[in-house]
Amino acid sequence: MEWQQEQQQQHDPPAAAALAWQQQQAALAWQQEQAALVWQQEQAALAWQQEQAALAWQQEQQQAAAAALAWQQEQAALAWQQEQQQAAVVPASIDEGDQVVP
């Protein structure tokens, strides 16, 4: 290939210039393709990061909801306990007939 280029350059300078221009264009096209591939990889990485952040946020929301539900259940259990204790210690009053009435 190099020998062919040298022969063309010696006998046909315009053809040699055209060949050099074609090679330069091919190199530029290759560089652009490489840049596009790098850009695509970066976009894919960014999309993956966003997806991971969204998943982490969802998990945090689910954990917060579970914690809120656990707190509500605990409050309900405490309220029920308190009601049971109050029902067990109802003060008795003496009726006119000396009966203890709750």
Of 97 and 52, the one with more pLDDT: 52
Q: 94: helix, coil or strand?
A: strand
The two counts, helices (H) then strands (E), for the chain are 2, 2
> In this predicted model, what pLDDT tens digit does every residue of 1-33 receive, in sequence order?
666 666 555 677 888 999 999 999 999 999 999
Mean pLDDT calculated for residue range 23-46: 98
Q: Are 19 and 5 in contact (CB under 8 A)?
A: yes
Q: 93: helix, coil or strand?
A: strand
Q: Among positive and negative, which fits the CA dihedral 10, 11, 13, 16?
A: negative
Is the per-residue pLDDT at 65 higher than 80? yes
Task: Give the integer Cα–Cα distance in Å for 19 and 5.
Answer: 8
Task: Give the integer Cα–Cα distance in Å for 56 and 63.
Answer: 11
Mean pLDDT calculated for residue range 35-47: 98
* pTM for this model (two decimals): 0.51
Is the per-residue pLDDT at 77 higher than 90? yes
